């Protein structure tokens, strides 16, 4: 898959495409429905499939105080789109100057002139452009004269509510990673490089990997059953703690550390993705280090029981 950064200012974008445009934070099941149609139609027509997206999230520029915590990093988003069969990603740098671009200008200059979009798929309530003045009706009006096709894709509903990035984010923040996984169609995951910690886990008899996290969003503090994927390799069963470690010395900033079951190797400096499957318990302060060690043993035992009972995703 090809990735085109600073797409608004480039002249070497693919031409003759089937495309979609949006933030696609999280790439949840509703967004996957749109991406799937793009991939399918591009294959049928023999055209290049393209996802046009923005970095950073527009609200980081327009309303930074209320901008949401991102569900995916830019690299995670690109990797997921590649798995979905997309040929190219065009990343538009969202800056103050670009924010003043009208919806009509965006469509005519980027979508029609440079990408030569033959078919465009967007959410049925998609809004874009300066003051969010662009919508599905405008897209169809602009496309009609040139014979291009624009399709609005209806939102996906789960449990009587729309699947949305906001809903996924709320589930993660309250620690309901099972609901988040259902809405995403995969476990919510965080990525980072393995760094040296204080080796407290090893001294307790439960060695852990400590990560320098890239993701903005962490779940509610607690202990989770998880899967660790080292640099895209096979998933390894794990138990992950997210929080301030109040029994030991109460960190000032949240940390994420994982004990990999039946694994004892050196992962320092390597990239690891942790997919959170379900919550074992909330974070708590124990009366002694001995009590903490005993609880960790129970956490690991419960995680093993659930892994034995439930196939890995």
240 burial via Cβ count (<10 Å: 0-12, 13-18, 19+):
buried
Average pLDDT over residues 60-86: 95
Residue 179 covered by a domain: no
Question: What confidence score (pLDDT) does residue 261 get?
Answer: 94
Question: What confidence score (pLDDT) does residue 232 get?
Answer: 80
Q: Are 145 and 219 found together in one domain?
A: no
182 φ, ψ (degrees, to nearest 5) = -65, -40
Average pLDDT over residues 125-152: 92
> Which alpha helices (H) appear in 145-226, and where do they start and end?
165-173, 177-184, 200-203
Q: Are 88 and 194 found together in one domain?
A: no
User: For 13-32, what is each residue's pLDDT tens digit?
Assistant: 999 999 999 999 999 999 99
Q: Are 39 and 157 found together in one domain?
A: yes
Domain count, the chain: 2
Q: Are 95 and 192 found together in one domain?
A: no
Average pLDDT over residues 205-231: 92
Alpha-carbon distance of 293 to 28, in angstroms, equals: 37
Q: Are 18 and 135 found together in one domain?
A: yes
Average pLDDT over residues 145-161: 93
Average pLDDT over residues 93-104: 93
Structural domain of residue 241, as residue ranges? Answer: 187-309
Q: pLDDT-based confidence at 208, cuts 50/70/90?
A: confident
Average pLDDT over residues 34-62: 96
CB 88 within 8 A of CB 3: yes
Q: Are 191 and 277 found together in one domain?
A: yes
Q: Calculate the average pLDDT of the chain.
A: 93
Least confidently predicted of 163-167, 201-205, 263-267: 201-205
Residue 76 covered by a domain: yes
Whether the predicted pLDDT of 204 surpasses 70: no
User: For 238-283, what is each residue's pLDDT tens digit?
Assistant: 999 999 877 766 666 888 999 999 888 888 899 999 999 999 999 9
């Amino acid at each position: 898959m090809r990735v085109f950064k600073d797409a608004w200012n480039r002249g070497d974008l693919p031409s003759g495409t089937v495309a979609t445009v949006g933030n696609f934070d999280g790439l949840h099941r509703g967004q996957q429905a749109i991406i799937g149609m793009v991939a399918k139609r591009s294959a049928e027509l023999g055209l290049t499939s393209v996802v046009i997206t923005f970095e950073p999230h527009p609200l980081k520029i327009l309303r930074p105080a209320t901008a949401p915590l991102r569900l995916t990093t830019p690299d995670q988003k690109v990797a997921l789109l590649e798995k979905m069969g997309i040929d190219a990603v065009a990343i538009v740098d969202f800056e103050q100057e670009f924010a003043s671009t009208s919806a009509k200008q965006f469509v005519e200059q980027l979508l029609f002139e440079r990408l030569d979009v033959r078919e465009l798929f967007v959410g049925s309530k998609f809004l874009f452009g300066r003051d969010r003045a662009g919508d599905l009706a405008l897209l169809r009006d602009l496309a009609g004269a040139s014979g291009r096709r624009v399709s609005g894709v209806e939102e996906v509903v789960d449990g009587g509510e729309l699947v949305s990035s906001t809903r996924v984010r709320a589930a993660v923040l309250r620690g309901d990673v099972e609901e988040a996984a259902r809405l995403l169609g995969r476990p919510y995951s965080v990525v980072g490089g393995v760094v040296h910690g204080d080796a407290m886990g090893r001294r307790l008899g439960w060695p852990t990997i400590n990560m320098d996290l890239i993701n903005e969003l962490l779940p509610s503090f607690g202990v989770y059953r998880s899967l660790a994927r080292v640099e895209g390799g096979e998933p390894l069963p794990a138990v992950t703690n997210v929080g301030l470690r109040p029994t030991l010395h109460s960190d000032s900033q949240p940390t994420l550390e994982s004990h990999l079951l039946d694994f004892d190797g050196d992962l320092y400096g390597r990239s690891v993705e942790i997919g959170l499957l379900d919550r074992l318990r909330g974070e708590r302060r124990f009366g002694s280090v001995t009590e903490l060690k005993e609880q960790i043993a129970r956490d690991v035992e419960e995680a093993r029981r659930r892994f034995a009972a439930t196939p890995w995703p």
